[in-house]
Amino acid sequence: MIRIAVLASGSGSNAQRMIEHFAQHVKGRVVLVACDQPEAGVLQRAWDLGVPSYLFTGTQLKNGTVQCELQGQRIDLVVLAGFMRLIPVELVRAFPQRIVNIHPALLPRYGGKGMYGHHVHEAVVAAKEKESGITIHYVNERYDEGEHIFQPKCPVLPDDSPETLAARIHELEHAHYPKVVEKLAEALIQEPRA
């Protein structure tokens, strides 16, 4: 069974979908929710769903403590779901092609440092884009630059506000992220960790 850790900083609706999805699957399981914000909604969601959580600081992310925790818990796949910090290069190297992120726009546009949450949707609406979408991608040591895995699109309607667009994007995320991670988990079963 592939052991999945979800890293999140916020509300955690994607984390919840991931937990619920894998509760129905024998091949993988979300065994840990790791979070850097003590007030984040994702911690309550994890508690309600019976998934252990691990709260850490930015310093612990940088100094290798988080990496030790993930390795100690025999995590196979790290899923970022609204996680706001840069992943240190050592952690990227410790989990090669085993850390994935979801971004609420069609990268490489509307990505990079500072382009997160409502900022992304505000920029897309202000630019009068006709379409937006999500990008599920591997994580490397630079924000939003890892290899793309899947990039479904949705329309941006003429009367969309950043909020209405955000709701459409969230639906797209919830529909696709768990399924994409399931495919990655299935591929990892064929290729056990060294």
Residues belonging to the active site: 103
Stretch that binds ligand GRF, among 29-37, 63-71, 88-96, 98-106 (CB under 6 A): 98-106
DSSP letter (8 states) at residue 88? P
Q: Based on CB atoms, which residue is closest to ligand GRF, 14 or 67?
A: 14
Residues 6+ apart with CB under 8 A from 170: 13, 104
Residue 173 in the binding site for ligand GRF (CB under 6 A): yes
Say what the alpha-carbon torsion angle 171, 45, 68, 90 is, to the nearest 10 degrees: 30
The overall longest dimension of the chain from CA atoms, in Å, is 52
* Interface residue with ligand GRF, options 14, 67, 132, 140 (CB under 6 A): 14
Q: Based on CB atoms, which residue is closest to ligand GRF, 131 or 189?
A: 131
Separation of alpha carbons 49 and 44, rounded Å: 9
Give me the half-sphere count of Cα atoms (radius 13 Å) on the Cβ side of residue 125: 17
Q: Cβ 159 to ligand GRF, closest distance in Å?
A: 21
Residue 82 in the binding site for ligand GRF (CB under 6 A): yes
Residue 178 in the binding site for ligand GRF (CB under 6 A): no
